[in-house]
Structure 1
Amino acid sequence: MVTGYPRFFIHKSIQALSTDIVAKYCRPGESGMPSAMLFPTKRTAQRCVDFIRERAEPFTVTELSILRLVLDPTKEFAEPLRTISPSISAVIFPERLFPIAKQYWQHSGAGVSSRRAEFCHGLFRDDLLVLDDRPPSPRPPQLNKLRRGPKRYQRTASIDETKGAGTNGRPSPPAEELADDLESSRFLEERFGRNLDVSLVENAKSAIRRRIAGVLTTDLDLASKSLPVMESNARGVSNLQEHDIYLTPCGMNAIFTTHQALLKARKPEKSINFGFPYVDTLKILQKFGPGAIFYGHGSSADLDDLEARLKAGERFLGLFCEFPGNPLLSCPDLIRIRQLADTYDFAVVVDETVGNFVNVNVLPFADVVVSSLTKIFSGDCNVMGGSLILNPSGRYYSALKAAMGEGVFEDTYWAEDVVFMERNSRDFVTRIDRVNANAEAICAVLEAHPLVSKVYYPKCNESRSNYEACRLPKGGYGGLLSCTLETQAHAIAFHDALETAKGPSLGTNFTLTSPYVILAHYHELDWVAGYGVDPSLIRISVGLENNLSELFAKALKAAEAVQ
């Protein structure tokens, strides 16, 4: 694989800016030319440095540093640039420490987005992004306004227009004209036939939060319409307010931030990872605190064992689980978990990415609900995002709220990413309805075929009653399912014949099929098999296509031909 999901493969635009920063500001050290990893703030960069120092050889930590790049304070800038506050904090480290730095990047999800990197790279090339500790230089008397800037701010035309063209296809005006006309740099981008003023980014964030709360389900023009009032019983809890919903750069960063908030708000203790997890959730709990105990089956027997530990006096920071889990789509018993949490004083954190908040409502059972907006909430697979919701009725609400306000949470969600996420999510509810129907149809095809040994889907799993306890009246069973076939040869034939896109993500508007276990757990196949996860499992993220049942029936025919 030469590229992939941005937490696993650092985007080439980010790599390009890293290379140029190193070339301009760094000299070779004892270990050769250093490398850089880019973060949006100095605080997030410092956490990376601390992570590396804890794991690197002592003699290398002296070669760690942070370079913070900000808008040149000697120049005046158009209001949009000041509003979005473009900045980069580069962690500089010896190249041999890249594997350690990459762990932090992957687990925390705190790195810069590709759009931020591209935007800041334009400023960097134009000498408008400088070290924040550079001594102020005398301002040239003739330089009173911005003469140059990133290309997308040098015209009011769509970012999709022909490169170099201005409004109505005319060439972009010279920089001198732009400096005299700040109006030309007012717009972040143009799409769907209308401009979006940068000043509306905060409204876009508000719209996203209210969609997450379930009070905004229709399209709206952010420039002309007021947003719906938050209802007192949104998400099934009283007094949920918009400020209880936090937006993060990606879903994993929502989990990371929640864990950091719990460590700050409560006495640090081990956490519980309940149910077979997505790769990085367990890594976060293991590497960024006192550690974790792992209940990979997420079964009633596991809850019995946990309860015995609690009765014996063990105490925990919080229990982290997915609803449903990925890739087995089983659901933990949130009712019993909530009862144990109330009795033995631990927080409950539920990742609802796969279930999603159109189908299920898990907030009444949780202290914090996290989700990856990158998936079906966006659907277009062109932007990342995450969210976390603090339950205002939760025991730890006040302590978590205080921790979030004391530096655990920073609003680093890049303005352009917000714009795309808000627009992508406008038809979220209608897309979910269609995906639910498609997934149920595929499930029926798979269950009826004799070569399919097992289908994993909330509707047909043994844990269905746990799902039903949280399913909304109009909710379906989601757009993710997995299956195993009689033999590995059958699975290979089925996968290769299936005429869908092949890839390891989920929640796209088109169907994605992948040998998920091989991709996600290639070096630990025996370990995952111990938790009932077949290495030949095929995971299917269902999209919006019309002919999916036919495609799956055709692929099963190919499996039948295997001798």
Structure 2
Amino acid sequence: MMTSGLGRFALGRPFPDREHAVCVSLPTVRDLVGYEEKDPRVLETMASGYPRFVRHRRIVQLIDYLDRKSGEDGMTRFLVSDQEACEEAILYCSADQARVIRETGFSSLLVPKGTDQSERVSMFLQHSGIGISSRRAEDVLLREGQIQSAESTTLMDDPAGLVREIIAKAHGPEIFPEDVLLGSSGANAFYALFREASKQAESSGKDLWIRLGWLYLDTIEVMDLLAGETVQIDDPRDCGKVEAIFNEYGPRIAGIVTEFPTNPLMQACDLQRIRSLCEKWNSLLVVDPTMTSPKNAKVSGLADVIVNSLTKYAGCEGDVMMGSLVFPSGSDRGRKLLEGTASRLCPPYRGDLLRMAEQIPLYNDFIENANHSLPHVVSFLEGHSKVKAVYWAYQSSNQGNFEELAGPDRPGCVASFEVDGSFKDFYDNLPMLKSPSFGTRFSLCCPYVYLAHYKLIKSETGLEELKRAGLSPFLCRLSVGTEQPDQIIDAVDEGLRALEQ
């Protein structure tokens, strides 16, 4: 039976109604602010949430169990994929008071409570994706007799092989399963890649990286942490600015990281032109096509490495985290990173692979359904008097850049928009799941800037930074599911009618 994201959902309700759901309902602006400001009223309703931002209840239970078992007091325990990842966290967070304990299948990182070190480690785990999954925590609790049952999934011999096969086909006929690496999340995939890429680039005297477009928060943070120097170009379509930077710094430029199209403004660069610049200066081109899916945005003929969050589209039932990296055989720059990157990745937990293998067969049909539905919703939004801006892959300001690679009618499931009127009135009255994430079979609306960049909203300098990037604090990112387009439109229309009263 299909789960619909249309309707009104209580604060803190996990979505879907499964133990390891990655979406959680934030139905009002008051709840949204409470979530960001860690209001106990909001946080106490949440047994789960987007995993790198909210500790799943199974992870909380396992931490409590391990603390009781060891008699540990005065230390904050983080559950990390392995000892090497713990050592990375200690190094990058300057956590000189931290201790590492090897557990069975993972490691504990203990940091003094209430310290700056603890806060830094917490943020590092979020951005790098090195924490363990809730399914691993659940299986440990079951093994230790702390819970009575765990999720049941269909067993198969090689779930990773199935995932790699489907993802390789999505990228195009030139990509094969052996070109695909899997990580525990999209963030971890990028972190592992960028650690290896920045290290190799530095050894070659290349220390300057270009962020082309306003990239996802974790990508920004990882680049700031690991890169020697970064240059930010807010509008990825400004090829003139990219060329000017190459003309000035060419030999130093290690590479370009971009999304195609970007999250959340759906801006698409002239990727062929960017590729030519990278070829001229022997710079790496890393492209993330997650917003519309690599099945739609065919970038593997131009990118040296493709980063993709499989939590979206592939994990369309909304309860598994995973990421992939694709290394096209035609790119020597990319291929020389493959082995080193593989050694740095946190591999997906087998329970997550089994769950992904259950739902990834829905991948192609879900994308085709989204490709059909989204244009109807966009047409409604563009024609509504209370909508002042709409952003999607085929927006005219992209000047055909997206269509050149994707072809016609391949927009994926996401359109972002701004309302003309009170954001609060629209948001509070919208009868739809309001949550992080996208690319699910159930429709949802994400208050993107609130969730990804709340700190910027809280300061004048932050608001100026958002303004330069063309980002309204009140931007809504809509992800269409498999409900009928007319039903999705009716739900959005109900929210917009609140602006007319």
| Structure 1 partner of 2:13 | none
| Structure 2 partner of 1:225 | none
Deviation at 1:101, TM superposition (A): 0.7
* In 1: Cα distance, 2:372 partner to 2:143 partner: 47
2:54 counterpart SS class: coil
Deviation at 1:23, TM superposition (A): 3.1
Is the alpha carbon distance of 1:104 and 1:540 closer, same or farther for their aligned partners in structure 2, counting shifts above 3 Å? same
* In 2: Cα distance, 1:461 partner to 1:282 partner: 27
1:273 counterpart SS class: strand
* In 2: Cα distance, 1:326 partner to 1:311 partner: 28
Is the alpha carbon distance of 1:379 and 1:214 closer, same or farther for their aligned partners in structure 2, counting shifts above 3 Å? same
| Structure 2 partner of 1:504 | 436
* In 2: Cα distance, 1:253 partner to 1:297 partner: 25
Query: Are 1:93 and 2:28 an aligned pair?
Result: no
The code of the aligned residue for 2:426 comes to F
Deviation at 1:26, TM superposition (A): 5.5
| Structure 1 partner of 2:385 | 450
Query: Are 1:67 and 2:101 an aligned pair?
Result: yes
The code of the aligned residue for 1:304 comes to G
Match of 2:337 among 396, 400, 403: 400
Deviations 1:230-289, CA, capped at 9 Å, x for gaps: xxxx7253xx33222001111111111110121233335132111011111111000123
* In 1: Cα distance, 2:241 partner to 2:316 partner: 39
Deviation at 1:316, TM superposition (A): 1.9
* In 1: Cα distance, 2:406 partner to 2:184 partner: 28
Deviation at 1:463, TM superposition (A): 0.4
Query: Are 1:247 and 2:182 an aligned pair?
Result: yes
CA contact (8 A) 1:354 1:480 kept: yes
Deviation at 1:434, TM superposition (A): 1.3
Match of 2:366 among 426, 431, 434: 431
| Structure 2 partner of 1:323 | 260
* In 2: Cα distance, 1:324 partner to 1:299 partner: 10
CA contact (8 A) 1:236 1:364 kept: no
* In 1: Cα distance, 2:452 partner to 2:177 partner: 35
The code of the aligned residue for 1:478 comes to G
Query: Are 1:378 and 2:315 an aligned pair?
Result: yes
Query: Are 1:341 and 2:281 an aligned pair?
Result: no
Deviations 1:167-216, CA, capped at 9 Å, x for gaps: xxxxxxxxxxxxxxxxxxxxxx455xxxx25xx1xx2111111111117x
CA contact (8 A) 2:394 2:400 kept: no
Match of 1:280 among 218, 230, 246: 218
| Structure 2 partner of 1:13 | 58
| Structure 1 partner of 2:499 | 559
1:201-280 equivalences in 2 (<5 Å): 203-214=158-169, 235-237=172-174, 240-267=175-202, 269-280=207-218
Deviation at 1:294, TM superposition (A): 1.1
Larger Rg: 1
The code of the aligned residue for 1:419 comes to L
* In 2: Cα distance, 1:379 partner to 1:492 partner: 28
Is the alpha carbon distance of 1:325 and 1:313 closer, same or farther for their aligned partners in structure 2, counting shifts above 3 Å? closer
Deviation at 1:68, TM superposition (A): 0.5
* In 1: Cα distance, 2:227 partner to 2:319 partner: 33
Is the alpha carbon distance of 1:190 and 1:330 closer, same or farther for their aligned partners in structure 2, counting shifts above 3 Å? closer
1:272 counterpart SS class: strand
The code of the aligned residue for 2:124 comes to Y
Deviation at 1:515, TM superposition (A): 2.4
Query: Are 1:22 and 2:40 an aligned pair?
Result: no
* In 2: Cα distance, 1:306 partner to 1:255 partner: 22
1:462 counterpart SS class: helix
* In 2: Cα distance, 1:398 partner to 1:558 partner: 53
TM-score of the aligned structures, taking structure 2 as reference length:
0.83
Deviation at 1:105, TM superposition (A): 0.6
| Structure 1 partner of 2:426 | 494
1:559 counterpart SS class: coil
CA contact (8 A) 1:384 1:417 kept: yes
Structure 1, unaligned stretches of length 5 or more? 71-86, 127-149, 153-158, 161-188, 216-233
The code of the aligned residue for 2:493 comes to A
CA contact (8 A) 1:352 1:369 kept: yes
CA contact (8 A) 1:442 1:552 kept: no
| Structure 2 partner of 1:170 | none
1:303-322 equivalences in 2 (<5 Å): 303-314=239-250, 315-322=252-259
Deviation at 1:423, TM superposition (A): 0.9
The size of the alignment, in residue pairs, is: 442
Deviation at 1:471, TM superposition (A): 0.3
Match of 1:365 among 302, 305, 308: 302
Match of 1:516 among 441, 444, 448: 448
Query: Are 1:45 and 2:65 an aligned pair?
Result: no
* In 1: Cα distance, 2:289 partner to 2:64 partner: 37
Deviation at 1:27, TM superposition (A): 4.6
CA contact (8 A) 1:22 1:35 kept: no
Deviation at 1:472, TM superposition (A): 4.6
Deviation at 1:319, TM superposition (A): 0.9
* In 1: Cα distance, 2:286 partner to 2:249 partner: 21
Match of 1:416 among 342, 345, 351: 351
CA contact (8 A) 1:438 1:548 kept: no
1:422 counterpart SS class: helix
Deviation at 1:517, TM superposition (A): 1.5
CA contact (8 A) 2:268 2:393 kept: yes
Deviations 1:68-118, CA, capped at 9 Å, x for gaps: 012xxxxxxxxxxxxxxxx12111111122211111111101110000011
| Structure 1 partner of 2:40 | none
Larger RCO: 1 or 2 (CA < 8 Å, sep 6+): 2
* In 1: Cα distance, 2:127 partner to 2:253 partner: 21
1:320 counterpart SS class: strand
Identical counterparts, % of pairs: 27
CA contact (8 A) 2:327 2:335 kept: no
* In 2: Cα distance, 1:38 partner to 1:115 partner: 13
Deviations 1:304-356, CA, capped at 9 Å, x for gaps: 22322222234222211111111111112111110000001111111111120
Deviation at 1:386, TM superposition (A): 0.6
* In 1: Cα distance, 2:165 partner to 2:367 partner: 17
Query: Are 1:480 and 2:414 an aligned pair?
Result: yes
Deviation at 1:536, TM superposition (A): 1.8
Deviation at 1:379, TM superposition (A): 1.1
TM-score of the aligned structures, taking structure 1 as reference length:
0.75
The code of the aligned residue for 2:211 comes to N
| Structure 1 partner of 2:131 | 111
